A and B are shown apart, each in its own frame.
Chain A
Amino acid sequence: MSERADLIRSSRFRAEREADWKRLGEIVERAETLGLSRLDFDDARDLVLLYRQATNSLSVAREISLDSAVATYLESLCARAYLVIYAPRASLAGLFSRFFTRSGPAAVRRSYRAILVAYLLLAAGAVAAYLLTQNDPNWFYAFVPGDLAGGRGPRASAEALEKMIYGEGDNQLGQLGAFAAYLFSHNTKVSLFAFALGVVFCVPSVLLILYNGAVLGAFVEIHAAKGLGVDFFGWLSIHGVTELSAVAIATAGGLSLGYAMLFPGRRTRGAALRHAGRDAVKLAIVAALMLIAAGLLEGFGRQLVTDFWARIAIGWGIGLLWLAWFALAGRNAAPAQSPNLAVAH
């Protein structure tokens, strides 16, 4: 480099630093292919230092150099290194344990008002449909779509309904098949839409959960009219406690999104939505887990367990377990956020 003493300033600037840039490029390349944790000691130690130097060089080069090659190169190099250095560093195991022990139940606790509202709307829909169907059985057909009724209706005989409840019907799929058919069925769709469409100022969520309550109420009424109310309660309990809670929680997520849109407070609507989204997304995940659990209960439990009291015990027992998880998990943990979240905000 001695013969380059006459180089112009920006070329000297480049010549002095080029080796460091190249080394940073190599470390970043290795980190991308091997993973950050498998860098050797020297590389790991120098990565951040070299990155800081490179960003420095970039900002200086923009000011003093008209060598477009340097500016373009440094820009790509810094961007590449930035992406490696600020990569999400959460491990899957850590992520799951944090969700299950802290952030999931904490989000449910924080959203208890929305969840209560969702349950109340569900109950309101059920009561209204019960009363309407009691007055005029034809209302049943208004509430319950054909594929969901599955042969049940106001005109079905008590024996037929009882068969359905106690699993001797001829339309039973296999136990797992029921689960499979179930997973994409009614309640999953309702939960998904009640969550996602809540953004539109809560209206679709409210309508959906009222409607879901109405379906429930109509079913209860046709069974109660035939004196099978208690049996239906048992049949519904085994999976319904979990399933309807999942619908309510998903709806609560949608409601909190819609609430943020309606009353953003001092934030902009977008900011309020993003803020509400942090808990709403966790509610959605909780609801998804509950739906899968409900699917398993429906697939195995409903056909295997036909005893009335066992059904009640399993259904409400599992409901209590959910409640205990929501109410107790991670209570005394300080609201310590993950390093990643702390960076984000």
Chain B
Amino acid sequence: MAALRLRRKAQATAGRPQRVKDRRKRLTLTPPEGVPLHLDIASLGARFGAQFVDLVITTIGLVLVLLAFVYAGFASPDALGAISAFLLLLIGAPYYIITELLMNGRTFGKRMLGLRVVSKDGSGLSTHQIVVRNLTKEVEVFVPVSFLMTGQGASPWFVVAMLAWLVFVFAVPIRNKANQRIGDLIADTAVVLTPKPLLLADVAGQADATARERFVFSSAQLDLYGAYELQVLERLLRGGEASRPGPERYAGLAKIGQSIRAKIGYEETVSPAEEEAFLQSFYVAQRSYLEQKKLMGEARADKFHREDDTPRIDAASHTTASAPTQEKGTRP
């Protein structure tokens, strides 16, 4: 969330160095409870993957049912032709509609790849939306592809028109902010990654009280950094990229500790063994300080919070409804 806000901010203030390389597309849903949720949009690769799995599953199912009919003695070719034609109809839109309806917006393929369909307006996915997005898929993709695959003797213009149509159909989700295909646009749905809740330990809880009494920071020292630096430090303490406890990690911590001490003007020397305790104490003190500031209406996004007084209000007014009040506070 904070990262998202940062990214928006980074976009809003172009002069700043852009630090967050997170370029994933996100969807903001507002459920009836009124608290906006941000979901990761499924990539086109994942969606093709899910579609492929569904095609494999339905084809296997089709073949198995046909084999069962052959085995049961219904072997007349005419009957088989009719049955397979009927099954071919069923594994089109009806398969997708029924699975998405019964499995809460997931076909078997989507389930396997951790995707699901959501309604963009934040209310529950309705039957109508599921029917529309899958009926449209029939017109969008299945029918042109089957024409191209079976269309012997079709005029070349027809083939070209179908190919152009397919290019258009695939260009729409690439251009779209939420990777919506035409059917998604009509049904007002989007495909997102199923969120996986994972609660990491609280870094502030790891700092023990004695260390926090040993390292004390003045408010002038805590005035320098903002939320972004705090969260960089949080990632570092949590392990981040180099999570193995070892000499490299301690060397990294020592380096960070030194640069922080240099920046905030911390006089005391810290022994290498105490380095982690120092950083943890600093984290707790800094977070508590910033949270206090935030509570009083002064959210500090990063260490540049002193420099920009006027553009800050502009940037804040562009942020979403997720944080309507926090950045608009008056500063002392």
Task: Report if B126 contacts A (CB, 8 A).
Answer: yes
Select B197's contact among A4, A25, A196, beta carbons within 8 Å.
Answer: A25
Which of B85, B127, B197, B295 has its CB near the most chain A CB atoms (within 10 A)?
B197
Select B290's contact among A66, A78, A82, A281, beta carbons within 8 Å.
Answer: A66
Residues of B within 8 A of A323 (CB): none
Cα A71 to Cα B79 in complex, Å, equals 59
Cα A8 to Cα B119 in complex, Å, equals 39
| B135–A68 CB distance below 8 A | no
Interface string of A55-86 (1 = CB under 8 A from B): 11011001111111111110111111011101
- Tell me how far the C-beta of B151 lies from the nearest C-beta in chain A, rounded to whole angstroms: 11
Select A68's contact among B3, B123, B131, beta carbons within 8 Å.
Answer: B3
| A73–B105 CB distance below 8 A | no
Select B104's contact among A67, A79, A83, beta carbons within 8 Å.
Answer: A83
Select B82's contact among A25, A51, A179, A285, beta carbons within 8 Å.
Answer: A179
Cα A333 to Cα B4 in complex, Å, equals 49
| A196–B139 CB distance below 8 A | yes
Cα A72 to Cα B231 in complex, Å, equals 12
Contacts A66-B2, A88-B127, A273-B186; A184 near B85 (Cβ below 8 A): yes
Residues of B within 8 A of A273 (CB): 186
Task: Report if A227 contacts B (CB, 8 A).
Answer: no
Residues of A within 8 A of B81 (CB): 176-177, 180-181
Task: Report if B220 contacts A (CB, 8 A).
Answer: no
Contacts A8-B287, A278-B128; A63 near B78 (Cβ below 8 A): no
| B186–A64 CB distance below 8 A | no
| A180–B84 CB distance below 8 A | yes
Residues of B within 8 A of A69 (CB): 199-203, 234, 238
With both beta carbons as reference points, the residue of chain A lying nearest to B323 in the complex is identified as A62
- Tell me how far the C-beta of B319 lies from the nearest C-beta in chain A, rounded to whole angstroms: 11
Task: Report if B56 contacts A (CB, 8 A).
Answer: no
Residues of A within 8 A of B198 (CB): 73, 76
Task: Report if A320 contacts B (CB, 8 A).
Answer: no
The segment out of A210-218, A241-249, A336-344 that lies at the interface is A336-344
Task: Report if A301 contacts B (CB, 8 A).
Answer: no
Cα A19 to Cα B188 in complex, Å, equals 36
- Tell me how far the C-beta of A249 lies from the nearest C-beta in chain B, rounded to whole angstroms: 15
Residues of A within 8 A of B139 (CB): 192, 196
Contacts A9-B288, A184-B85, A344-B128; A64 near B227 (Cβ below 8 A): no
Select B135's contact among A6, A70, A177, A281, beta carbons within 8 Å.
Answer: A281
- Tell me how far the C-beta of B116 lies from the nearest C-beta in chain A, rounded to whole angstroms: 7
| A8–B288 CB distance below 8 A | yes
Cα A156 to Cα B167 in complex, Å, equals 44
| A14–B35 CB distance below 8 A | no
Task: Report if B240 contacts A (CB, 8 A).
Answer: no
**Number of chain A interface residues as a range:** 35 or more
Cα A87 to Cα B102 in complex, Å, equals 9
Contacts A52-B33, A183-B89; A277 near B287 (Cβ below 8 A): no
Contacts A62-B323, A69-B200; A343 near B124 (Cβ below 8 A): yes
Task: Report if A92 contacts B (CB, 8 A).
Answer: yes
Task: Report if B230 contacts A (CB, 8 A).
Answer: yes
Contacts A58-B35, A80-B194, A183-B89; A67 near B125 (Cβ below 8 A): no
Residues of B within 8 A of A285 (CB): 131
| A87–B37 CB distance below 8 A | no
Contacts A10-B291, A343-B124; A299 near B82 (Cβ below 8 A): yes
Contacts A62-B322, A180-B84; A344 near B197 (Cβ below 8 A): no
Which of A71, A277, A338 has its CB near the most chain B CB atoms (within 10 A)?
A277
Closest 3 pairs between A and B when the two form their complex, measured CB to CB: A174-B78, A86-B124, A176-B82
Cross-chain pairs A/B with CB under 8 angstroms, 15 sampled:
A55-B31, A64-B294, A66-B291, A67-B202, A75-B1, A78-B31, A79-B39, A82-B29, A82-B31, A83-B104, A87-B104, A179-B82, A183-B85, A281-B131, A344-B129
